[in-house]
Amino acid sequence: MELDFGAAVRDFRDELRDWLAEHLVGEFAAHRGVGGPTDGAAWEVRLAWDRELSAGNWLGISWPQEYGGRGLGLLEEIVFEYEYARANAPYRATGNALDLLGPMLLAMGSEEQKKRFLPPVLAVEELWGQGFSEPGAGSDLASVRTRAERDGDQWVVNGQKVWTSFGIHADWLYVLVRTDPDSQRHKGLSMLLVPADQPGVDIRPIRNLAGQDEFAEVFFSDARTGADMVVGEVGQGWRTAMGTLGIERGTTLLPQQLTFEREADALIELARERGALHDPMLRRRIVDAWISVRIMRTTNMRTVAELVAGRTPGAQSTTAKLYASTRHQQLGHLAMELAGPAGQIIGEDYELVTRQRSFLLSLAETIYGGSSEIQRNIIGEQLLGLPKDPRP
């Protein structure tokens, strides 16, 4: 997948390509493509790589210079993400803060919050975890029960969060809490910034199917944070959270796309090795997988073009997550089927090859970031104008 974003950013692209060629070497090159949004592999290597990116001033491309960014535009940021994925560099360990917290603070945070938290993010000095989902509030995020009560110049937090990505590494957590005890659903919520290193915060790892502990559950027992640690307005946390999730769904288009295309190419190569291309039914399924990643490419490029033009992305941006997650799972199932018995053999200490790890981790893609059931409701109600599901 080769894209030309035009003469306006060609110098920037060439500078980035030269830097990656010079610095993506040694241990970093040996870990090309390692990790992901739910893949904690080679964490220390990825953290070191993020510090290398920080030293080269490649983090926060579009963030204002007064907070440590480069002050460039959206197009340069898109070019960076594309070229970064094209080089198959390690997945950034600071992705949570760079892709979610930072844009949220830039859009809704106070000036004091921006000055306090954004520079350490870009310097890879502080890591962040997201405290949204709870045992009884996953895709139905409006049901959160973790509460925060005002005590003088502090907030006191009690409750539980779950599925906190890379939570065991977090120095800070941005947490959706209920600050109005009499409120229900979307009302009375607030977004708090809470330090993780304190007696009232207990973070416990959760091991996933791939044998990794990138998820965590977090227990708050009279944990405290300052009264000035509310992002946006008190009681308006739902609007802040939805803005953050909108950012999340818009930042992974090109890196995710290139990952899927590499997996489709590997699938075709595996089919050749296995002689499966002579089977007309398998050949048809392989062609279908190849077509699906090209459809994703076209859809993603439409969204990128609309963003660059300053327009609100069209309906395809709403359907993209559902399509990509379900098709990626089908791609993984087919790859494992083609691998045959070898696909079930793992290495020492549960060591997995790329194909196995991708297949196992893809099983969660139809759940996190909005389950497929929720996505279908959104598409049906907001895009197609169908009646809303009855509420109990």
Q: Which of 83, 214, 217, 248 is the catalytic position? A: 248
The yes-or-no answer on residue 365 being catalytic is no
The Cα 133–Cα 175 span in angstroms is: 9
What's the pLDDT at 248?
Answer: 46
Angle in degrees, CA 320, 313, 173, rounded to 5: 70
pLDDT tens for each residue of the chain, 392 residues long: 556 677 778 999 999 999 999 999 999 999 998 887 777 888 999 999 999 999 999 999 999 999 999 999 888 988 898 899 889 999 999 988 998 899 999 989 999 999 999 999 999 999 999 998 898 877 677 789 999 999 999 999 999 999 898 899 999 999 999 998 888 788 899 999 999 999 999 999 998 887 777 889 999 999 999 999 999 999 888 888 877 655 544 445 667 778 888 899 999 999 999 888 888 999 999 999 999 999 988 888 888 888 777 788 888 888 888 999 999 999 999 999 999 998 888 888 788 888 898 899 899 889 887 789 888 998 999 889 999 887 76
What's the pLDDT at 249?
Answer: 46
The Cα 383–Cα 332 span in angstroms is: 29
Nearest to 12 by CA among 84, 65, 104, 90: 84
The Cα 290–Cα 270 span in angstroms is: 14
The Cα 349–Cα 346 span in angstroms is: 8
Contact 274, 336 (CB under 8 A): no
Contact 240, 104 (CB under 8 A): yes
Contact 5, 83 (CB under 8 A): no
**Domains, the chain, ranges and CATH?**
7-93 (1.10.540), 128-235 (2.40.110.10), 252-383 (1.20.140.10)
What's the pLDDT at 212?
Answer: 78
Tokens of 167: 């939570």
